[in-house]
Structure 1
Amino acid sequence: MAGLGPLARIARLGSNLCRNHRLIFNKSSQRRGIASCIDPAQGLTDEQKEFQKVAFDFAANEMAPHMAEWDQKEIFPVETMRKAAQLGFGGIYVQPDVGGSGLSRLDTSIIFEALSTGCVSTTAYISIHNMCAWMIDTFGNDEQREKFCPDLCSMEKFASYCLTEPGSGSDAASLLTSAQRKGDHYILNGSKAFISGGGDTDVYVVMCRTGGKGPKGISCLVVEKGTPGLSFGKKEKKVGWNSQPTRAVIFEDCAVPVSNRLGEEGQGFGIAMRGLNGGRINIASCSLGAAHASVQLARDHLLVRKQFGETLSNNQFLQFKLAEMATKLVASRLLVREAATALQEGRPDAVSLCSMAKLFVTDECFDICNQALQMHGGYGYLKDYAVQQFVRDIRVHQILEGTNEVMRMIISRNLLTES
């Protein structure tokens, strides 16, 4: 991986600028490195710095050059993701005996932050895929782990997480998709909404109702593509996240073997929530990558764009705004890494910290990217400029993996009920 270092390559996202600005920004970005005060490698071990560099290099070489095309043409970049899997990014926190990398939650956050500088949408899907692989690895028996995990870790097969329904979003425990047991199969009926990868993926981790009302009646089934009775809705048209397809997943008398159930009946809601705790860190990490790249792009723009006879970098108001963006970025990164460590260690504050990280980081990083777009003026609103795609791609992070309103509920509940 010779040539420019990973952080210099990130600045080359500026090469998505239009017409005559393209060469100017390429050259300026190559000359300038990353300011030490926002360096994402600060505080990491040598090993973490190594795989962070691998992820940055992959983002710069394999993702960033195609980010705009994947967005505009709505391409699901299967082969690129399989290349990422060859680096160990298909099952980052899955155990090595079934093909995973066996890394920690903090390691995972570092990788997703770096990859997102190249394409948030694609990295976000990779994070969902990783969550599904981890759920099978963690809650599956040996037979299930050996059946599903190797192909997921290599990304020979892709996975989708199926919890949300048309009438069941934030109130996930009220889901209606039913699974009635008949002999050695469950007969699955219902539908799931807003499923990332839906229709293009191979494995669906589905939360369904096998018992009575409420969370204790929910179980978790792994449904394989091609199962009779499994179908998909139309591909949704979205503001961002366009490199991953989103469809409804529909079950009509879909017969799923009992052997595909993860855990026992009634354990599905707990499995889903355990998955989402990590998913919240993952999606916050993707927001970090977008914000990091946007700070770089904004800085580079201020240094070369002239108005009123001098560069924008001499404008104190914009200097202060850039300082605020950098401060929010570093504060967000520290919170994500603390939450990731807490989850890895199984600390009692882990759920609240994951919720805090998801709430704070997705809000603040969206503001960073939005401010970076504003600093670009009219250019920031052109699709030739990468900054507008970062804004569009991370807006949904405030909604998915539990809305930020739900995050506030979780945090306040912990504060008010803990003795």
Structure 2
Amino acid sequence: MPATRLMPTEEGQDLIDLTREICAKELAPRVDDAERAAADGESFPTEVFRTLGSAGLLSLPHPEEHGGYAQPYEVYLQVVEEIASAWMSVAVGVSVHSLTAFPVTTYGTDEQRAAMLPAMLSGDTLGAYCLSEPLAGSDIASMTTRAVRDGDHYVLRGRKAWISHAGHADWYTTFARTSDDGGKGLSCLVVPADAEGLSFGTPERKMGLHCDTVREVVYDDVRVPVERRIGDEGQGMAIALSALDAGRLGIAAAATGLAQGALDLAVGYAGEREQFGRPVAQFQGLQFLLADMEAAVTSARATYLHAARLKDAGRTFGKEAAVAKLVATDTAMRVTTDAVQVLGGAGYTQDFAAERYMREAKVTQIFEGTNQIQRLVIGRHLTR
């Protein structure tokens, strides 16, 4: 990874350096074996998240008074990028965890923040973000999971799909329909993992990100106290969309880190692999390919940092977040594919991480809103 970045504070650089050290010592040596084991059966890196949590890396952008580090978003995102360059499943998990706490941090009352955030940001717990459904992905307004008011509780019934951390999370930030007023009829509830009636489907067998356990979450008359509703009733759509803007930046940073890891592997291999009596890195055709990969990664990083700085300045950043997600994830797909090409036949084997990087890159173009949805978002910003 690049040794020098523009940092807003010395503390920010120290956090980046700490993350690199943890990645080198704790994550990189374990990732290949863990991902292979998880592909053969469910495996979740709980202890890795606890290591990151004990270092304070699960709570960076959240308020200091409730256990966060109150770091600028650009610092948090560069931490996510560093983690992704070593272990993409874990980086996605860090982004998801931050996303689950975002509604409480941003829309919760003072009492809710005091009651919920310390546990959420302790480093000992993980959250899950429950928005998508089997028939309601990007079309949030068609959501059917319902929360019916019953005295001082809501009763939740329905199911969510493609939920990271399902079955391992300590709470589930859940969006449900509280009225039939289309997108204005959604509300946000924080459901504890031990709630009666909460259950989970069989883990999905995925192309990649095997250590990112994904399942359906099933709500069978789950009772949730009214005080665990975040924001007003009917405010769920606004909360979800706001959270997704921030979450898209997390995925953009993770995709950039994944691409950087693939580029580092390709450069290292090209410098060692010899053909016709010299390293293949000395051939101009390969140098041009590596140069294009570097330019793409650098450009992706610039897009997410630009959006993060707008967010840190309190300015609107929805369009820029969509641009960052689109550019960074398309870059990840292209750069990881090119990395396989640089390694040649070796890149097609599991002896090197290039094939894993390529498999992991594909889903970044799909989750947190497909890249077709990102184009819709960008286009609407430009023409409205």
TM-score by length of 1: 0.88
Give the 5 Å matches for 1:9-408: 39=2, 41-45=4-8, 46-74=10-38, 75-348=43-316, 350-408=317-375
Summarize deviations over 1:301-328 as a string: whole Å, max 9, x none.
1111012332211221111000100111
Query: How big is each residue's C-alpha offset from its partner over 1:280-339, in whole Å with a ceiling of 9 and x where there is no partner?
Result: 011110011111111111111111101233221122111100010011111111111001
- Secondary structure class of the residue paired with 1:251: strand
Cα distance in 2 for residues equivalent to 1:181 and 1:146: 24
Over residues 338-375 of structure 1, what are the superposed CA-to-partner deviations in whole Å (9 max), with x where a residue is unaligned?
01111222323x11000000001110122111101111
Please, which runs of 5 or more residues in structure 2 have no aligned partner? Answer: none
TM superposition shift of 1:142: 2.7
Deviates more, 1:206-215 or 1:387-396: 387-396
Per-residue deviation at 1:106? 0.6
Q: Given residue 44 of structure 1, which amino acid in structure 2 is its aligned partner?
A: M
**Is the deviation greater in 403-412 or in 72-81?**
72-81
Q: How far off is 1:42 after superposition? A: 2.9
C-alpha displacement at 1:155, in angstroms? Answer: 2.7
2:31–2:86 Cα contact (<8 Å) kept:
yes
Contact 1:100–1:153 under 8 Å retained in 2:
yes
CA offsets 1:43-72 (integer angstroms, 9 cap, x no match): 234433221111111111111111112211
In structure 2, the CA distance between the partners of 1:40 and 1:217, relative to structure 1 (3 Å rule), is farther
Contact in 2 for aligned 1:174/1:213 (Cα 8 Å)? no
Q: How many pairs align? A: 379
Query: TM-score, with normalisation over the residues of structure 2?
Result: 0.96
- Are 2:163 and 2:215, in contact at CA under 8 Å, matched by a contact in 1? yes
Give the deviation of 1:200 after TM superposition.
1.1
Shift of 1:191: 0.3
Q: Which amino acid counterpart does residue 229 of structure 2 have in structure 1?
A: R
Task: Give 1:140 deviation, angstroms.
Answer: 1.6
Alignment partners' CA distance in 2, 1:262 and 1:235: 28
Structure 2 contact 256–331 (Cα < 8 Å) conserved: no
Which region of structure 1 is more displaced relative to structure 2, 189-198 or 82-91?
A: 82-91
Query: In 2, distance between residues paired with 1:404 and 1:284?
Result: 11
2:165–2:212 CA contact under 8 A, matched in 1:
yes
113-122 or 70-79: which moved more? 70-79
AA aligned to 1:184 is D
Aligned residue for 1:65, secondary structure, equals coil
C-alpha displacement of 1:214: 1.8
Query: 2:377 — aligned with what?
Result: 410
Distance in 2 (alpha carbons) for counterparts of 1:226 and 1:43: 43
Of stretches 47-56 and 200-209 in structure 1, the one that deviates more from structure 2 is 47-56
Contact 1:179 1:187 (C-alpha < 8 Å) held by counterparts: yes
The 1-side partners of 2:121 and 2:356 are apart by 28
Q: 1:271 offset after TM fit, Å?
A: 0.7
Query: Are 2:12 and 2:71, in contact at CA under 8 Å, matched by a contact in 1?
Result: no
Letter in structure 2 aligned against 1:194: W
Partners of 2:123 and 2:164 in 1: CA distance: 15
Shift of residue 247, structure 1, vs aligned partner: 0.5
Q: Identity of aligned pairs, percent?
A: 35
CA contact (8 A) 1:41 1:49 kept: no
Query: What CA distance in whole angstroms lies between the structure 1 residues aligned with 2:25 and 2:333?
Result: 25
* Amino acid corresponding to residue 413 of structure 1 in structure 2: R
The 1-side partners of 2:6 and 2:69 are apart by: 22
The AA in structure 2 aligned to 1:368 is: V
Contiguous gaps of at least 5 residues in structure 1: 1-6, 8-38
CA distance in 1: counterparts of 2:175 and 2:357, whole angstroms: 31
| Matched AA of 1:183 | G
* Deviation at residue 40 of structure 1 after TM alignment: 5.9
Contact 2:202 2:215 in 1 (8 A): yes
Distance 1:311 1:160 in 2: 46
